Amino acid sequence: MGALVHRDFQRVYPVMSRGKGVFLYDQSGREYLDAVGGIAVVNIGHGVSEVVAAMSKQAEKVAFVHDAAFANEPAVAFAEELATWAPSSLRHVLLLSGGSEATETAMKLARQYHLEHGKAGKYRIVSRWISYHGNTLGALSMSGRPAWRKAFTPLLLNFPKIPAPYCYRCPMGKAYPECNVACADELERTICMEGSDSIAAFIAEPVIGTSAAGVTPPPEYYPRIREICDRYDVLFIADEVITGVGRTGKNFGIEHWEATPDLITVAKGLSSGYAPLAAVLLRDNVYDAIARGSGGITQGFTYSGHPLSAAVGLAVLRYLAAHDLVANAARIGRLLLERLATLTRYPIVGDVRGTGLLQGVEFVADQATRHPWPRKAEVTRRIVEAALDEGVMVVPGMAGIVDGVAGDHIQISPPYIFTEAHVERLVAGLEAAIQRVVRELSAVRN
């Protein structure tokens, strides 16, 4: 199998050797529609020459300086540009290399914020089940993803979790709007039960990513979360590693609600995948507390503020603006959702949901009862593989959406340059895949 260690030791991984626009090509030259942007990363498409040029120009000038000792021009310029994308009070930008670094850093900044105010007891982070915030131990401690936590449970921090705002399978057994977003009030109950003097922050993905792709809370949800956080001196961290820089059709996903977070984490599409790049945006209150207090942070990584990554980030933000791609994500997102909704005529399609170009399809054994398929039916794997045979790439959703074990769903998160024709090709490919899986499952059942 060669020296390279893959995630699945049994699987033979197809090699992709080239990408252009919304298409990837394998070694035999076969074309695939990249309807997932890698994994909600490739926002402006593959092979964009402006980004390649910016990268190579910077590499010729200087590829690396250490941010603990020096500033560099692209990092300064990129931070200025990114700040203009964010709500005006979140204009302080810390540069990093990946999503887990960003959420882990946000966790520590929340702790430091309270330390600066003499509240050393406030260090725990509340998050939600059916969530993902990264794979390092702090980030995994915040992640409500049972399948990935299991093996490492003894190493994880004791952070509380509240139910997800997952209306299709309401964990509180209620229905919107009669529920009066009781799932948001669970934050208050948990803070009180755990003791507000121990809780530093609440972290959430504004629109849920691969753990339940496209699940979008109701309009009252985040304003209620913000009120509760304010009441108990708890910071609100919006994890926009996926939803940041336009994926949901607005600059940041949280802007769909009237609620301003104290910290925003962003990664993935920030560089459109051309180089590793992430950031934490600090609101004035957090930045000022540190500036007036200890005066600095003790977190840093060798590659923080990397000049090449920053040059890429700047080129990507400029490309998004020049081609009005966030507006296109909103427009094409609406069309995609409409077209995917037609697939509910197939008995295995339970729910279609999403905002902008972050969408998901959930599969069920029974549309009326929403009963899931048994794990061994491997519906998600079947759908993803059948779609790939049709030349369409979709991402398998994380297992366990129903009860930590069962539940099948996929994520669709194409580049923002998707057109009407790409939507039609995606829906046709997915429909053919669903038809094939319906046939396979009826053979399994009989």
Q: Which residues bind ligand PLP (CB under 6 A)?
A: 98-100, 103, 132-135, 205, 209, 239, 241-242, 267
Question: How far is it, in rounded angstroms, from Cα 171 to Cα 185?
Answer: 13
- Which element (helix H / strand E) includes 223? helix 221-231
Give yes or no for a contact between 93 and 281, defined as CB atoms under 8 angstroms apart: yes
CA dihedral for 109, 78, 321, 415, sign (positive or negative): negative
DSSP 40-103: HT-SS-B--HHHHHHHHHHHHH-S---TTT---HHHHHHHHHHHHHS-TT--EEEEESSHHHHH
Question: How far is it, in rounded angstroms, from Cα 281 to Cα 117?
Answer: 20
Question: How far is it, in rounded angstroms, from Cα 90 to Cα 126?
Answer: 22
By beta-carbon proximity to ligand PLP, the closer residue of 207 and 383 is 207
Number of C-beta neighbours around residue 369 at 10 A? 9
By beta-carbon proximity to ligand PLP, the closer residue of 103 and 260 is 103
Distance of CA 103 to the CA centre of its chain: 11
Q: How far apart are CB 378 and ligand PLP at their closest, in Å?
A: 22
Q: Name 402's Cβ contacts closer than 8 Å, sequence gap at least 6.
A: 169, 372
By beta-carbon proximity to ligand PLP, the closer residue of 356 and 429 is 356
By beta-carbon proximity to ligand PLP, the closer residue of 179 and 384 is 384
Q: How far apart are CB 31 and ligand PLP at their closest, in Å?
A: 26
Residue whose CB is nearest to ligand PLP in the complex, by number: 99
Q: Name 141's Cβ contacts closer than 8 Å, sequence gap at least 6.
A: 125, 156, 157, 158, 159
Q: How far apart are CB 265 and ligand PLP at their closest, in Å?
A: 7
Q: How far apart are CB 210 and ligand PLP at their closest, in Å?
A: 6
By beta-carbon proximity to ligand PLP, the closer residue of 238 and 352 is 238
Q: How far apart are CB 356 and ligand PLP at their closest, in Å?
A: 15
Q: How far apart are CB 105 and ligand PLP at their closest, in Å?
A: 11
Question: How far is it, in rounded angstroms, from Cα 130 to Cα 406?
Answer: 13
Query: Rounded to 5 degrees, what angle do the CA atoms 413, 416, 420 make?
Result: 90
By beta-carbon proximity to ligand PLP, the closer residue of 112 and 210 is 210
By beta-carbon proximity to ligand PLP, the closer residue of 74 and 209 is 209
By beta-carbon proximity to ligand PLP, the closer residue of 114 and 133 is 133
Question: How far is it, in rounded angstroms, from Cα 441 to Cα 77?
Answer: 54
